[in-house]
Amino acid sequence: MKSDALHSAPVTERGSTPLALIVLGASVLVTGCLSATAAEPQQDRQRVRELGISIGQYPPGPLNAITDVSGVKVGHTTLIRGEGPLKPGEGPVRTGVTVVIPREDVWHKKVAAGAFVLNGTGEMTGLSWVAESGFLEYPIALTNTLNVPRVANGVMSWMIGRYPEIGISDDTLTPVVAECDDGRLNDIQGRHVSEQDVAKALDTASSGPVPEGTVGAGTGMVSYGFKGGIGTASRRLPEKEGGYTVGVLVNANHGRRPELVIRGVPVGQLYDAAQPMTQAVQPGLSEGSIIVIVSTDAPLDGRQLTRLAKRAALGLARTGSTARHGSGDFMLAFSTANVIPHYPKEQTYTLVHLADIHLNPLIAATVEATEEAILNALTTATTVVGRDNRRIEAIALDRLKALVPAASR
Total H helices, total E strands in the chain: 7, 18
Active site residue 157: no
C-alpha 18/C-alpha 40 separation (Å) is 13
For strands 140-144 and 93-101, give the pairing.
antiparallel
Contact 161, 198 (CB under 8 A): no
- With residue 328 as reference, give the H or E element that holds it: strand 327-341
Q: Which of 289, 295, 321, 335 is catalytic?
A: 289
Q: How many CB atoms lie within 10 A of CB 103?
A: 18
Where does 171-214 have alpha helices with state H?
195-203
C-alpha 273/C-alpha 277 separation (Å) is 8
Cross-strand pairs, 223: 226
Active site residue 329: yes
Give the up-direction half-sphere exposure of residue 87: CA atoms within 13 A in the CB hemisphere.
Answer: 7
C-alpha 85/C-alpha 388 separation (Å) is 4
Q: Which of 8, 35, 223, 327 is catalytic?
A: 327
Buried-exposed string 126-153: b where 16+ CB fall within 10 A, e elsewhere:
bbebbeeebbbbbbbbbbbbbbbebbbe
C-alpha 330/C-alpha 290 separation (Å) is 7
Q: Which of 181, 297, 301, 329 is catalytic?
A: 329
Q: How many CB atoms lie within 10 A of CB 339?
A: 16
DSSP letters for 138-154: S-EEEEEGGGHHHHHHH
The residues that are catalytic are: 289, 327, 329
